[in-house]
């Protein structure tokens, strides 16, 4: 396919404001903002945690243990259940907090290099956002103070130092951050041991069971799938309802997930919490950093049966083959009466009409420049650099548009890769997508799995595609980031700052 330049690309798409003002896109007006109740957090926290990053060893395979880097946590004040460790896993402890909690975390870096913790998906002040400029060297401590303001949902945390996020996450540094609120509690969703985190990652191990980090320009892809840090993950389930919280914690791999027997998936939540209504899908696409929550009635399978969640082949890089992700074994038990509510509570409105630039969005073009560098609008990451078109006003709602040039991406147009684009500090709505029908293989192979409803902090932009997002910058001024969450793309510079003022 011949590369096309940007102007031709725009023409090919017949692109203009009008094409986005279509009825189904305007129906996205019916959207709701996460609840926030900003309050300055001074004085004593409700929960105080010491979080340490340090080298360690875990048994992953028979034989030699694997050298990893991992987070460990100690609750210094507040309920002990504020953290929950996953036994035997390199993954960090799971934070379990309620909306409104004033949280203090003392991050102790006991690694042989600099690091910093980013609370992915959380709406926090910029000094607590884990920007790489705030990275601390080994043997230092950084204290985070923030109020947990987000809705109930599945968030996570991971390192964010400049240029070495990919290798640090690959060595094991990542953990879930679960938020609960009263609205969620009132829904009576499965909880306790029926509420299961499922962190999906891929890794390469050598013959001595050690991790091998050897990425290409496409990112780091592994040949072993781990769930919660365990290969060939199995789970014993009763014949009742479960809540599965899926996080794609992989550096680069995009998954196309389904039950092996074709049973539909009931999606109840996205990155920013519960949907307004469950959505039934045959397949779900899960890009790096994305979360989807499923409600599953294992009673639909017979006692003694097993059912696997599988990755289906796709045109995404590294997604060419099918393979199992995990297997559920249904225990000998009576089928329980399991029913899912049809409608979940709604939240404060954010309407397209609120956006100051609804007709002329901020456009960010994703591509590859000279020297095989992934770029955004022709720029790569500079620690504190903020361009004119990266300044936004506190309180404004805006439409942002990410454009993946794909084959049109210039000299390296052959790099036909999808980019999971992530914006720090907020949750956004996906208003719509447009794709260049030529060269849309990746889009075609993944689109059935997209869950664009609900609130998101990461959206997949496939080659030849333009995706429009609606967001509002609330509560905090300061320096935040937006970037590709393929961690190798991020480390190679596909990341920029935006400033709220």
User: Can you give the binding site for ligand C2O, defined by CB under 6 A?
Assistant: 118, 120, 158, 160, 289, 422, 424, 481, 483, 485
CB of 95 to Cu ion, least distance (A): 15
CB of 117 to ligand C2O, least distance (A): 11
**CB distance 316 to 418 below 8 Å:** yes
- By CB under 5 A, tell whether 376 contacts Cu ion: no
- By CB under 5 A, tell whether 373 contacts Cu ion: no
- By CB under 5 A, tell whether 154 contacts Cu ion: no
CB of 121 to ligand C2O, least distance (A): 8
CB of 119 to ligand C2O, least distance (A): 9
DSSP bridge pairs for 429 = 470
- Which of residues 325 and 484 has its CB atom nearest to Cu ion in the complex? 484
Distance, in Å, from the CA atom of 329 to the CA atom of 238, rounded to the nearest integer, reads 9
DSSP labels, 154-189 = EEEEEE--TTTHHHHHHTT--EEEEEE-HHHHTTT-
**CB distance 399 to 455 below 8 Å:** no
- Which of residues 118 and 429 has its CB atom nearest to ligand C2O in the complex? 118
The DSSP secondary-structure symbol of 111 reads S
- By CB under 5 A, tell whether 484 contacts Cu ion: yes
Residue 489 interacts, among ligand C2O, Cu ion, none and using kind-specific CB cut-offs from 5 to 8 Å, with Cu ion
- Which of residues 120 and 373 has its CB atom nearest to ligand C2O in the complex? 120
- Which of residues 287 and 316 has its CB atom nearest to ligand C2O in the complex? 287
CB of 343 to ligand C2O, least distance (A): 31
Instruction: Say if residue 441 is exposed, middle or buried (CB neighbours under 10 Å; 0-12, 13-18, 19+).
Output: middle
Q: How many CB atoms lie within 10 A of CB 278?
A: 20
Among 171, 373, 466, 489, binds Cu ion (CB under 5 A): 489
Phi (first) and psi of residue 47, to 5 degrees: -135, 135
CB of 263 to Cu ion, least distance (A): 32
- Which of residues 242 and 443 has its CB atom nearest to Cu ion in the complex? 443
CB of 216 to Cu ion, least distance (A): 13
Residue 289 interacts, among ligand C2O, Cu ion, none and using kind-specific CB cut-offs from 5 to 8 Å, with ligand C2O
Find all residues with CB under 8 Å of 312, minimum gap 6, and list them. 256, 257, 258, 283, 322
Distance, in Å, from the CA atom of 378 to the CA atom of 119, rounded to the nearest integer, reads 28
- By CB under 5 A, tell whether 419 contacts Cu ion: yes
Distance, in Å, from the CA atom of 401 to the CA atom of 362, rounded to the nearest integer, reads 6
Distance, in Å, from the CA atom of 422 to the CA atom of 441, rounded to the nearest integer, reads 23
- By CB under 5 A, tell whether 201 contacts Cu ion: no
- Which of residues 352 and 375 has its CB atom nearest to ligand C2O in the complex? 375
Count of residues engaged in binding Cu ion, rule: CB under 5 A = 6
Residue 158 interacts, among ligand C2O, Cu ion, none and using kind-specific CB cut-offs from 5 to 8 Å, with ligand C2O
Find all residues with CB under 8 Å of 85, minimum gap 6, and list them. 73, 93, 94
Among 70, 104, 120, 245, binds Cu ion (CB under 5 A): 120
User: Near Cu ion by CB under 5 A, which window of 181-189, 267-275, 327-335, 415-423?
Assistant: 415-423
Find all residues with CB under 8 Å of 7, minimum gap 6, and list them. none
Among 486, 488, 491, 495, binds Cu ion (CB under 5 A): 486
Q: Which residue has the tokens 């709406």?
A: 123
- Which of residues 291 and 419 has its CB atom nearest to Cu ion in the complex? 419
The half-sphere exposure of 8 on its side-chain side, counting CA atoms within 13 A, is 10
User: Near Cu ion by CB under 5 A, which window of 97-105, 114-122, 235-243, 272-280?
Assistant: 114-122
The DSSP secondary-structure symbol of 227 reads E
- Which of residues 366 and 481 has its CB atom nearest to ligand C2O in the complex? 481
CB of 118 to ligand C2O, least distance (A): 5
Distance, in Å, from the CA atom of 315 to the CA atom of 407, rounded to the nearest integer, reads 14
CB of 494 to Cu ion, least distance (A): 5
- Which of residues 259 and 498 has its CB atom nearest to ligand C2O in the complex? 498
DSSP bridge pairs for 109 = 53
- Which of residues 203 and 424 has its CB atom nearest to ligand C2O in the complex? 424
SS3 376: strand
- Which of residues 285 and 486 has its CB atom nearest to Cu ion in the complex? 486
Report strand pairing: 175-180 vs 94-98.
Answer: parallel
CB of 140 to ligand C2O, least distance (A): 21
- Which of residues 203 and 489 has its CB atom nearest to Cu ion in the complex? 489
CB of 425 to ligand C2O, least distance (A): 10
Distance, in Å, from the CA atom of 197 to the CA atom of 202, rounded to the nearest integer, reads 16
Q: How many CB atoms lie within 10 A of CB 92?
A: 27
- 342 to 361, contacts with Cu ion by CB under 5 A? none
CB of 323 to ligand C2O, least distance (A): 25
CA distances from 36 to 132, 240, 426 (A): 26, 34, 11
User: In the chain, what is the straight-line distance between the N-terminal and C-terminal CA atoms, in Å?
Assistant: 43
Among 424, 466, 472, 496, binds Cu ion (CB under 5 A): 424
Q: Which residues bind Cu ion (CB under 5 A)?
A: 120, 419, 424, 484, 486, 489
């Amino acid at each position: 396919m011949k590369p096309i330049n940007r102007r031709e690309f725009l023409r090919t798409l017949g692109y203009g404001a009008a094409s986005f003002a279509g009825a189904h896109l305007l129906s996205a007006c019916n959207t709701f903002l996460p609840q926030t109740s900003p309050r300055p957090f001074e004085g004593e926290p409700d929960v105080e945690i010491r979080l340490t990053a340090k080298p360690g060893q875990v048994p992953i395979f028979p034989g030699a243990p694997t050298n990893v880097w991992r987070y460990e946590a100690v609750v210094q004040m507040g309920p002990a259940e504020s953290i929950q460790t996953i036994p035997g896993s390199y993954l960090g402890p799971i934070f379990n907090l309620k909306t409104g909690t004033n949280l203090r975390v003392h991050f102790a870096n006991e690694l042989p290099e600099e690091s910093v913790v980013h609370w992915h998906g959380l709406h926090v002040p910029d000094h607590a956002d884990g920007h790489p400029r705030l990275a601390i060297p080994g043997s230092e401590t950084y204290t985070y103070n923030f109020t947990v303001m987000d809705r109930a949902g599945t968030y996570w945390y991971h390192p964010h130092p400049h240029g070495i996020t990919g290798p640090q996450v690959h060595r094991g540094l990542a953990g879930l951050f679960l938020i609960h609120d009263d609205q969620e509690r009132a829904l009576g969703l499965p909880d306790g041991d029926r509420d299961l985190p499922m962190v999906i990652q891929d890794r390469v191990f050598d013959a001595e069971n050690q991790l091998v980090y050897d990425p290409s320009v496409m990112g780091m892809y592994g040949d072993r799938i781990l769930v919660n840090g365990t290969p060939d993950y199995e789970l014993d389930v009763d014949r009742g309802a479960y809540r599965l919280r899926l996080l794609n914690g992989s550096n680069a791999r995009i998954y196309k997930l389904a039950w092996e027997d074709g049973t539909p998936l009931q999606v109840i939540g996205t990155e920013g919490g519960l949907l307004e209504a469950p959505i039934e899908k045959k397949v779900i696409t899960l890009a790096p950093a994305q979360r989807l929550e499923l409600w599953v009635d294992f009673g639909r399978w017979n006692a003694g049966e097993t059912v696997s969640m599988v990755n289906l082949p796709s045109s995404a890089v590294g997604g060419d083959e099918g393979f199992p992700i995990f297997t559920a074994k249904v225990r000998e038990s009576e089928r329980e009466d399991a029913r899912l509510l049809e409608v979940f509570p709604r939240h404060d409105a954010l309407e397209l009409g609120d956006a100051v630039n609804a007709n002329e969005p901020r456009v960010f073009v994703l591509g590859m420049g000279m020297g095989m560098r992934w770029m955004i609008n022709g720029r790569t990451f500079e620690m504190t650099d903020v361009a004119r078109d990266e300044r936004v006003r506190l309180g404004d709602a805006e439409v942002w548009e990410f454009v993946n040039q794909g084959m049109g991406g210039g000299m390296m147009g052959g790099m036909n890769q999808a980019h999971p684009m992530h914006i720090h500090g907020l949750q956004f709505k996906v208003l719509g997508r447009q794709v260049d029908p030529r060269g849309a293989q990746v889009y075609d192979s993944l689109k059935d799995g997209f869950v664009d409803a609900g609130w998101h902090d990461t959206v997949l932009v496939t080659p030849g595609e333009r995706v429009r997002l609606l967001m509002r910058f609330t509560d905090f001024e300061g320096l935040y980031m937006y970037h590709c969450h393929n961690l190798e793309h991020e480390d190679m510079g596909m990341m920029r700052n935006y400033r709220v003022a």
